[in-house]
Amino acid sequence: MYINFYHLQAKSFQDFWHKFEASTFCHFGASPPFNVTLVNSQCPPPEVACDDVLLRAWLFVLSYVAANLFMTLLTRYAEGAVYTSIVSALQTPLGAIFWTCLFSQQPFTWSPRFNETAAFTVGGLAVMTPGVLLYNFFSIEEAKQREEEQKMIDQLNEAIERENARY
């Protein structure tokens, strides 16, 4: 099995340009116009290099559309953008922990591990998560308080209407 060489770092601007050109050709269904094995020794032959590129591109696009749809629905039904911003803030560190701690990049395999990158991500979550929980707790308390105030206002309005009905 070959490693998809399009995600490897370029060693020079020329190497970057060759990889960019090959990726563009693969994305639109054509073979790269040059022998990519000469550019980087880790590269597979051109006929293998383009496997599943179009499928992966469509999978990425559909995932992005679904994420935007769900964010729109969250904004609509959560009565505001506060929860949407909380989800947006937490998705990056949670995704980083998922991909950093659970998978190995070369070759792509299940490989649970904990390293310094994951430690910084967990540290960031340790700061953010209590803030999210506190916000959630206080927003519920505030909603209860507003509901009680609204009941008192309704009772006062009913009492005023009864007084006005007497006269």
Q: Where are the domains of the chain?
A: 1-51, 52-166
pTM of the predicted structure, to 2 decimals: 0.49
The span from the CA of 167 to the CA of 164, in Å, is 6
Q: What are phi and psi of 81, to 5 degrees?
A: -100, 5
Q: By the 8 A CB rule, do 15 and 6 touch? A: no
Q: By the 8 A CB rule, do 74 and 84 touch? A: yes
The span from the CA of 129 to the CA of 126, in Å, is 6
pLDDT given for residue 39 in this prediction: 47
pLDDT string in tens for the chain (167-residue length): 334 544 567 788 888 887 787 777 777 766 655 554 444 445 555 555 566 777 777 888 898 899 889 988 988 888 777 778 888 888 888 888 888 777 776 677 777 888 887 888 888 888 888 888 888 788 878 888 999 999 999 999 999 998 888 87
Q: Copy the structure tokens of residue 50.
A: 């383009």
By residue count, the chain amounts to 167
